[in-house]
Amino acid sequence: MKRLLIALFTVIPALAFASSGGVHLDAANNDLTDKESLKRGFDSYVNYCLGCHELQYQRYNRTFEDLGIDIEEGSAKYLLNGQKPGEHIKNAMPAKEAAKWFGSAPPDLTLIARLKPGPDYIYTYLRSFYVDSARPFGVNNTVFKDVGMPHVLQTLQGVRTLDEDGHLTPATGGTMTAEEYDVFARDLANFFEYVGEPNKLERESLGYWVIGFLCILFIISYLLKKEYWRDVH
């Protein structure tokens, strides 16, 4: 048993390191209570990501409700081709053709913030594309080596390269400044964290009440125990 515990404590740090690939991740510092950030992230997702990446476990009406978007306004702005608010957020890209175009079908992003090492991974990934002529789409990524997707946000961020030491150079030629693009990436990371667990804030809030209840129950149970055992002692 002792050897098993030692083996587990040896393996766990290695697994944690492997999950992030040993790459430094910048802190997104996102805030799930910031509804305006979530709205901007949702809008950016629809405009730049939905064409390839679905959110097949998230519904439009749940998103509208949680983000404070009027359902009529949201339906008019985001729903196309007869879609209904109760439908899941999907696109029309055929999976088989997508696999031929990209080598594999673009993944669903509903749980991306939970599958990867959190929103910090997404935030850093969106800011870490660089020019690589050896890749099919002409770009690579320092966080996800040999990434199989184009840099669809390059017109916003601009072009980055690697210097002689293998470090990313500042972006040039984008429509956004570096600070503006950081906010853009943070909003997207914030939205993907929300989608991964829409009731996270509710769960965390409920957790404080549960802990408080258990503390009170412990006191009552302790006093009751003392009362039962008073005559014995």
By CB atoms closer than 10 A (0-12, 13-18, 19+), residue 214 is: exposed
The angle at the Cα of 108, spanning 55 to 41, to the nearest 5 degrees, equals 50
What pLDDT does 21 receive?
Answer: 55
What pLDDT does 95 receive?
Answer: 78
**Under-70 pLDDT residues of the chain:** 1-22, 233
Q: Which H or E run contains 118?
A: none
Kind of pairing, strands 172-173 and 158-159? antiparallel
- Which is the CATH superfamily of the domain at 21-198? Cytochrome c-like domain (1.10.760.10)
The domain limits of the chain are 21-198, 205-233
Give residue 142's identity as a one-letter amino acid code. Answer: T
What pLDDT does 27 receive?
Answer: 95
Encode pLDDT of 181-204 as tens digits.
999 999 999 999 999 999 988 888
Encode pLDDT of 20-39 as tens digits.
456 889 999 999 999 999 99
Beta strands, E only, 70-147: 88-89, 129-131, 139-141
What pLDDT does 4 receive?
Answer: 40
Beta strands, E only, the chain: 55-59, 88-89, 129-131, 139-141, 158-159, 172-173
Rounded to 5, what percent of the chain is helix, strand, coil? 50, 10, 40
What pLDDT does 16 receive?
Answer: 39
Give the Cα separation of 71 and 96 in Å (integer).
33
Joined tokens for residue 167: 């470090």
